[in-house]
Amino acid sequence: MAMILKAISLHLTTTTTILMIAMQEGTLLQELDQKNNKTQRKRKMLHPLRRMTKTLKRIPYRYSCDICHKKSVEFLNMSVITHSEACTDCLSQTDVEDDNHYPIQLHLESCELYCFKCGEGKPRKLTVEKDGNDVRAILDYIKAPESADDLDKRRKAEQQLYIQELRREDMTLMHYLVEKQWGRTWMLFRNREGSPLPTKITNNKLARMNGTLDPNIRLPMDKYRPSPETHGDIISEKLWGYLSKAYGVLGRAYNEDDIIAPEYARLRVYVDDFKKSIDLYP
């Protein structure tokens, strides 16, 4: 397809007859329509990558692949709802439809945008010439030096991220525990101008001396009601994926896999009630 279009553009004057025959047969028009539809879909995918997304993605972080958990990270997911990082092999599984396989990805080494569903079996680098000025605007913002108002932009973007978390209704996701004091510090940063960035996430008050989760802690039972007398907050893996990379984790992370043993039956009730509470607010 690409070779046909290139040949047509280079030798248009000498291929008029061939072009007319192909158009009569309907094949070339169909291919052109398909190409135009792909371009339109691609630009629609770029369109949501506005201030919030660009701010949240500005600083790439290197971890092991969030999909296979084995290979080194090469790409940062540019979806506004997922902050996963992955290797090329995992992202090349274009038949998989989930948040981790979002088509637009940021290559961490070159800081260039790639589309994994726009090329012929391999990721294609997005360019201004082919994909529009949105590509350059996103990359210029991510690569720009730090400015005086960057902290304020981050504050607003993370508040939007928190609101997005409140509105999330997918309770099938894995949920994580975050120490209450760290959660309060993050809340102050999001809502009070001049508040400093939180330090690394610490879950020391959720743990026993041996590092395992303390079965005697208290957790919230309602997603939408504040619970000041609790030891921790419950958040989805989507929000945890961002916070753990943006701030780092000092010590262990705790999630639903840590409350399976019989001694955690009480905590299991907390988490189950928390996840069911969305049904109380139609």
Query: What is the percent of the chain with per-residue pLDDT over 90, rounded to a whole number?
Result: 34
Domain CATH code at residue 242:
3.30.2230.10
**In this structure, are 31 and 58 located in the same domain?**
no
**In this structure, are 172 and 257 located in the same domain?**
yes
What pLDDT shows up at residue 218? 92
**In this structure, are 167 and 272 located in the same domain?**
yes
What pLDDT shows up at residue 29? 46
What pLDDT shows up at residue 3? 41
What DSSP string describes 247-277?
A: H-EES--EEGGGG-SGGGHHHHHHHHHHHHG
**In this structure, are 174 and 230 located in the same domain?**
yes
Number of residues that this document lists for the chain: 282
- Return mean pLDDT, the chain: 80
**In this structure, are 271 and 159 located in the same domain?**
yes
**In this structure, are 139 and 155 located in the same domain?**
no
Record the tokens describing residue 43, joined without a space: 């630009």
What pLDDT shows up at residue 51? 65
Among residues 125, 143, 161, the one where a domain terminates is: 143
The H or E element spanning position 207 is none
Distances, alpha carbon 53 to alpha carbons 19, 58, 79, 202, 242, in Å: 43, 8, 7, 26, 12
Could you tell me where the beta strands, DSSP code E, fall in 60-134? Answer: 75-77, 85-86, 104-107, 112-115, 124-125
Place of tokens 């509470």: 277
> Rounded to the nearest 5°, which phi and psi values hold at 123?
-65, 140
What pLDDT shows up at residue 16? 38
Can you give the pLDDT of all 282 residues of the chain as single tens digits? 334 334 334 433 343 333 343 344 455 445 555 666 666 666 666 666 666 677 666 544 446 788 888 888 899 999 888 888 899 999 988 788 888 899 999 998 888 999 998 877 789 999 988 888 888 888 888 888 767 688 888 898 899 889 988 888 888 899 999 999 999 999 999 998 888 889 999 899 999 999 999 999 999 988 888 777 899 999 999 899 899 988 989 889 999 999 999 999 999 999 999 989 888 776
Residue (of 157, 152, 156) closest to 194 by Cα position: 152
What pLDDT shows up at residue 17? 39
**In this structure, are 171 and 271 located in the same domain?**
yes
What pLDDT shows up at residue 206? 93
Domain count within the chain: 3
Tens digit of each residue's pLDDT (9 = 90 or more) over 115-139: 998 877 789 999 988 888 888 888 8
**In this structure, are 93 and 106 located in the same domain?**
yes
**In this structure, are 98 and 9 located in the same domain?**
no
d(CA 207, CA 211): 5
Among residues 46, 65, 81, the one where a domain terminates is: 46
The H or E element spanning position 179 is strand 175-179
**In this structure, are 114 and 205 located in the same domain?**
no
**In this structure, are 38 and 80 located in the same domain?**
no
Q: Which domain holds residue 36?
A: 2-46
Give 106's strand partners.
Answer: 76, 113
Among residues 119, 143, 167, the one where a domain terminates is: 143
**In this structure, are 137 and 175 located in the same domain?**
no
Tens digit of each residue's pLDDT (9 = 90 or more) over 183-238: 999 999 999 888 888 999 989 999 999 999 999 999 998 888 877 789 999 999 98
d(CA 267, CA 215): 7
Q: What is the pairing mode between strands 104-107 and 254-255?
A: unpaired
- Torsion angle in degrees (nearest 10) through CA of 276, 243, 144, 152: 70
Task: Give 229: exposed, middle or buried? Use CB within 10 Å, 0-12, 13-18, 19+.
Answer: exposed
